[in-house]
Amino acid sequence: MKKYCYLLCVIALLCIACQSKQDKSAKDAEPATPAVQQETVILDGVYHFDFNGVEMWTLQDMQKKMSADLFKGAKKADIAAFMPTGEADAAINTFLLKRNGKYILFDSGLGLDNGGVMLDKLTLLNIRPEEISAVCITHCHPDHIGGMVSQGQPVFPNAEVYCAAKELEAFKNDAKTKEMVKVYDSRLHRFTAGEKLLGDIQTIDAPGHTPGHTMYQIGNVLIIGDLIHAAALQISHPEYCAKYDANKVLAVKTRKDTYRYIIDNKLVVAGMHLPFSGVIEHFETTAEL
């Protein structure tokens, strides 16, 4: 009888130990993050998002920092509060839109010859440059058009290219812009901001950073180009310009006007220099607009 009771005790202890081990394994297997949200990081440097049927990807061309030294007019107290390390997280991003089975690219990044890896991101998505049907350019700085041409040849041989006429005129003597115009030739289309491209892509004039700096709105997604360079500082302080803004007075006005437009219309923001993922779903600012 004693042996029988002892055997039952051993069996019970073994069951408890097994159950405890199963519970621990189940707990260890639980995801560390909440359930998958609407927008999901799917690959390294590639961010997929779909808002109200607008399917897009962020293709990060380069991760970088924006130095506080770029904002010469900023108060020391604001730099200390919003950029305490002396720099802000940023990136060089491009955006890819899928529409009716076709791919439309917004900006082309630096280009492989200058350290950009946007084409590698396309490869991760199993998309070839030949499959890009259109490229919409926000402005003609080298980190936005540097990936258009390589060794004198078009990187996107089947793409129609769109750029504001005012921007092309302002950069007509710029070497990279001249090369892009020459290489894409009849497939480069000049537009006036306010026009719609490719059916429903709304172009919006956003001068200040450059004369023809252009934003693009697709549904409730607004691609803001270089409206923001250091989000940590400029979302709260749109009055501060990076040294890259050519006309700082106009850039500040454009930034404040755009913030109001984003908030009033509850838009999703996609920015070329926003830190990865490059997307702000719910844009808010404490600034007086």
Which residues on adjacent β-strands are paired with residue 91?
A: 63
> What's the mean pLDDT in 251-276?
98
- Band (pLDDT 50/70/90 cuts) for residue 26 is very low
pLDDT recorded at residue 189: 98
Q: What is the pLDDT of residues 144-172, one digit of tens each?
A: 999 999 999 999 999 999 999 999 999 99
Residue 125, phi-psi category: left (phi > 0), alpha (psi -120 to 50), beta (remainder):
alpha
Domain boundaries along the sequence of the chain: 39-280
CA torsion 223→229→230→236, rounded to 10°?
A: -60
pLDDT recorded at residue 5: 39
pLDDT above 60 for 134: yes
Q: Is 147 within 8 Å of 155 (Cβ atoms)?
A: yes
pLDDT recorded at residue 43: 64
- Report the CATH superfamily, name and number, of domain 39-280: Ribonuclease Z/Hydroxyacylglutathione hydrolase-like (3.60.15.10)
Q: What is the pLDDT of residues 68-124, one digit of tens each?
A: 999 998 999 999 999 999 999 999 999 999 999 999 999 999 999 899 999 999 999
Classify residue 141 by burial, with Cβ atoms within 10 Å: 0-12, 13-18, 19+.
buried
pTM, 2 dp: 0.85
pLDDT above 50 for 15: no
Q: Which amino acid is at 237?
A: H
Strands 87-99 and 40-43: unpaired
